[in-house]
Amino acid sequence: MLTPSYPIRTDRLILRPFTPDDAQALHAIHSLPEVARYLYWEPRDIEQARQALEKKISQSTLREEGQALGLAVELAATGELIGDGVLLWHSSLHRSGEIGYIFHPGHHGKGYATEVGEVLLELGFNGLDLHRITGRLDGRNDASARVLERLGMRREAHLVENEMVKGEWTDEVIYAILQREWRARR
């Protein structure tokens, strides 16, 4: 079980559970075509964003495998919601998980995803004692691949045209890092 001590602070960011007050800000991010480009869903209208938010609100604690921990990411200096991070707990037997993140394009290229990724890896390895954490992405998403590489994750697989997403065959790339590798980097 993992119940983080909120808020989680980094040098520039605050990670916290989502609240109903995040609806407009989440919609401002999830409604953008460039945000949804490499994701399974199309740009979301306000009602779809509210439905996604309801799910995120319930994801502030990991009690058992199969659950996700969803964290709102805001700028510490302004309180602006700029994205979200997720830690998925896949298996307690195999001690495996996965990380992911979404950010408003106006905040790309500033290292925020890497900063959030570090927190997610720490929560997975120290909080859940996971053995292995992966990151999966659309093969065209070079920016996300660079984030995972900066986190010390290795590219382990490139699955060619393995999924039909939004009417087209897409490649999936999988990155991973083991707990011992992550600890050695620290």
Spans of all domains in the chain: 8-131
| Strands 132-138 and 96-103, bridge-based pairing | parallel
Fold of 8-131: Aminopeptidase (3.40.630)
Confidence of residue 186 (pLDDT cuts 50, 70, 90): confident
**Cα 91 from Cα 115, distance rounded (Å):** 25
Q: pTM for the whole thing?
A: 0.96
Tens-place pLDDT, residues 10-51: 999 999 999 999 999 999 999 999 999 999 999 999 999 999
